[in-house]
């Protein structure tokens, strides 16, 4: 039996209309997945003699030449000194932050960073303070007030493209602020920028030419790359430190060979052509134009990325609109509180290189009609 206090928590979720459930949505037009470039749908050839499993952690039996070659390719693609592969973006953020930030250090993080970053901060034992979303004046105040300290390292953490809003971090300003303090280090989660921003989808840091000014980048492969896994990009010394002190890396069975093959194939597609990226950017541009034409500009957050957000306050109201879209054949999901703050409930639409103009128009018309009837 589940303990009574846990049953009460479930009951409160039911009562608030925020109960999370697993639902299979099949045969719907995709406006929900993170498969921005359609790579997840493309065939991949696997080496017929490869093992099905890694057989152990990388410090035991799970390491291979395949890891070394892929990490070298990743580092070269992103213009980083080194890359270290993790099993997921969650593992990478959790492991990186909890390892490098130790007791006595300070973490300053954007208030809208992903849950994996927050959990890494909590495990780190460092002191932490959040700054208002993309508010560089607030961050500057915190740096000036708390940034100096004997033997204190300061870690500033942001996403390059925010997963729930689709907007971008002001990375040039963040770099300038961290460079002004000798012991400050910038960490950037590029999960939703990889494959989307840059000529070949290298990410926002690379696109802005800031590779050498960022302490660590996290790139994840469950979004535009259409597979699984992640990598931490940084210096050789950072990689060596993580291999020795990062518990989620040390004590986890390594990714299997077929997962490495998928990541390798994804990078090959990015390196050898940018047709899908151009298609995605065209869809984003046209979708933003349609938002204005449909009279929904005030409902949508401004975004030049694949993540488009329509604010519909109230769990039930946003769920009702999502249900209407799904009944019409469109896979659009509602994001409820407490995942987002109460009053900021939203439809989160993910655009893809394979979405067409007609479907974009239909989705926006259904949303506009639903809101008009409320």
**How confident is the model over 102-153, as pLDDT tens digits?**
999 999 999 999 999 999 999 999 999 999 999 999 999 999 999 887 789 9
**Distance in angstroms (rounded) separating the CA atoms of residues 97 and 107:** 9
Distance between terminal CA atoms of the chain? 41
Q: Pick the residue with more confidence: 190 or 31?
A: 190
Residue 129 is assigned to a structural domain of this protein: yes
Q: Does 86 share its domain with 22?
A: no
Question: For this structure, is 352 an active site residue?
Answer: no
Name the residue among 102, 139, 134, 142 with its Cα closest to residue 121. Answer: 102
Residue 44 is assigned to a structural domain of this protein: no
105, 110, 189, 190: the catalytic one is 189
Q: Pick the residue with more confidence: 232 or 12?
A: 232
78, 114, 130, 206: the catalytic one is 114
Q: Does 154 share its domain with 281?
A: no
Amino acid 44: pLDDT:
66
As a whole-number percent, the residues of the chain with pLDDT over 70 amount to 98
Residue 364 is assigned to a structural domain of this protein: yes
Q: Does 144 share its domain with 235?
A: yes
Dihedral, 307, 119, 122, 78 alpha carbons, nearest 10: -70
Q: What is the pLDDT of residues 245-267, one digit of tens each?
A: 999 999 999 999 999 999 999 99
Residue 12 is assigned to a structural domain of this protein: no
Question: For this structure, is 271 an active site residue?
Answer: no
Is residue 15 pLDDT above 80, yes or no?
Answer: yes
The model's pTM is 0.92
Confidence at 273, pLDDT banded by 50, 70, 90 = confident
Question: For this structure, is 223 an active site residue?
Answer: yes
**Distance in angstroms (rounded) separating the CA atoms of residues 289 and 182:** 44
Q: To the nearest whole number, what is the mean pLDDT of the chain?
A: 93
Confidence at 25, pLDDT banded by 50, 70, 90 = confident
Q: What is the CATH number of the domain that holds 346?
A: 3.90.1150.10
Amino acid 41: pLDDT:
82
163, 294, 303, 315: the catalytic one is 163
91, 110, 159, 331: the catalytic one is 159
Q: Does 357 share its domain with 253?
A: no
Confidence at 20, pLDDT banded by 50, 70, 90 = confident
Residue-number span of the structural domain to which 328 is assigned = 18-36+274-372
Amino acid 19: pLDDT:
79
Residue 4 is assigned to a structural domain of this protein: no
78, 206, 223, 319: the catalytic one is 223
Is residue 49 pLDDT above 60, yes or no?
Answer: no
Question: What are the φ and ψ backbone dihedral angles of 99, each rounded to 5 degrees?
Answer: -90, -45
Name the residue among 185, 263, 197 with its Cα closest to residue 230. Answer: 263
Helices 89-100 and 115-124 pack at an angle, to 10 degrees, of 30
Omega within 30 of 0 (cis) for the link into 159: no
Of 257, 272, 287, which marks where a domain is finished?
272
Of 250, 272, 294, which marks where a domain is finished?
272
Residue 48 is assigned to a structural domain of this protein: no
Q: Does 101 share its domain with 187?
A: yes
**Distance in angstroms (rounded) separating the CA atoms of residues 22 and 13:** 15
Question: For this structure, is 285 an active site residue?
Answer: no
Q: Does 247 share its domain with 116?
A: yes
Number of domains in the chain: 2
Amino acid 298: pLDDT:
94
Q: Does 264 share its domain with 294?
A: no
192, 206, 319, 352: the catalytic one is 192
- DSSP lists the bridge partners of residue 233 as 83, 217
Q: Does 239 share its domain with 257?
A: yes
Name every residue whose Cβ is closer than 8 Å to that of residue 171 and which is 6 or more positions away in sequence: 158, 160, 188, 204, 205, 208, 210
Of 253, 272, 291, which marks where a domain is finished?
272
Q: Does 144 share its domain with 76?
A: yes
Both tokens assigned to 134: 């993309």
Q: What is the pLDDT of residues 327-345, one digit of tens each?
A: 999 999 999 998 899 999 9
Residue 7 is assigned to a structural domain of this protein: no
Amino acid 79: pLDDT:
98
- DSSP lists the bridge partners of residue 57 as 253
Q: What is the CATH number of the domain that holds 244?
A: 3.40.640.10
Q: Does 134 share its domain with 232?
A: yes
Q: Does 267 share its domain with 286?
A: no
Residue 313 is assigned to a structural domain of this protein: yes
Amino acid 150: pLDDT:
73
Confidence at 16, pLDDT banded by 50, 70, 90 = confident
Question: For this structure, is 72 an active site residue?
Answer: no
Amino acid 374: pLDDT:
63
34, 93, 124, 353: the catalytic one is 34
Is residue 365 pLDDT above 60, yes or no?
Answer: yes
Name every residue whose Cβ is closer than 8 Å to that of residue 202 and which is 6 or more positions away in sequence: 77, 78, 79, 194, 270
């Amino acid at each position: 039996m589940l303990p009574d206090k846990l049953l009460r928590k479930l009951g409160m979720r039911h009562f608030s209309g925020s109960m999370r459930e697993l639902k299979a949505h099949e045969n719907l037009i995709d406006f929900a997945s993170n498969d921005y470039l359609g790579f997840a749908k493309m065939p991949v050839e696997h080496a017929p003699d490869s093992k099905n499993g890694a057989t152990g952690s990388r410090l035991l039996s799970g390491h291979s030449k395949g890891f070394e070659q892929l990490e070298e390719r990743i580092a070269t693609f992103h213009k980083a000194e080194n890359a270290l592969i993790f099993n997921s973006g969650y593992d990478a953020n959790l492991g990186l932050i909890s390892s490098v930030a130790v007791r006595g250090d300070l973490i300053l993080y954007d208030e809208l960073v992903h849950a994996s970053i927050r959990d890494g901060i909590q495990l780190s034992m460092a002191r932490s303070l959040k700054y208002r979303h993309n508010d560089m004046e607030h961050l500057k105040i915190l740096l000036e007030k708390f940034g100096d300290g004997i033997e204190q390292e300061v870690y500033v953490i942001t996403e390059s493209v925010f997963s729930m809003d689709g907007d971008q971090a002001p990375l040039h300003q963040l770099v300038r602020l961290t460079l002004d303090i000798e012991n400050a280090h910038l960490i950037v989660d590029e999960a939703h920028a990889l494959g989307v921003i840059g000529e070949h989808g290298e990410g926002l840091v690379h696109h802005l030419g800031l590779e050498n000014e960022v302490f660590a980048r996290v790139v994840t492969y469950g979004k535009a790359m259409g597979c699984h896994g992640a990598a931490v990009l940084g210096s050789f010394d950072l990689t060596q430190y993580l291999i020795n002190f990062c518990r989620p890396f040390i004590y986890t069975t390594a990714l299997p060979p077929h997962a490495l093959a998928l990541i390798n194939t994804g990078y090959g597609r990015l390196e050898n052509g940018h047709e899908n990226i151009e298609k995605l950017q065209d869809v984003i541009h046209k979708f933003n134009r349609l938002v204005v034409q449909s009279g929904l500009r005030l409902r949508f957050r401004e975004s030049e990325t694949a993540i488009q957000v329509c604010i519909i306050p109230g769990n039930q109201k946003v769920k009702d609109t999502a249900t209407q879209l799904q009944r019409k054949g469109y896979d659009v999901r509602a994001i409820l509180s407490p995942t987002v703050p109460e009053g900021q409930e939203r439809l989160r639409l993910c655009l893809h290189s394979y979405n067409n103009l007609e479907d974009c128009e239909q989705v926006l018309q259904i949303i506009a009609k639903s809101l008009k009837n409320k």
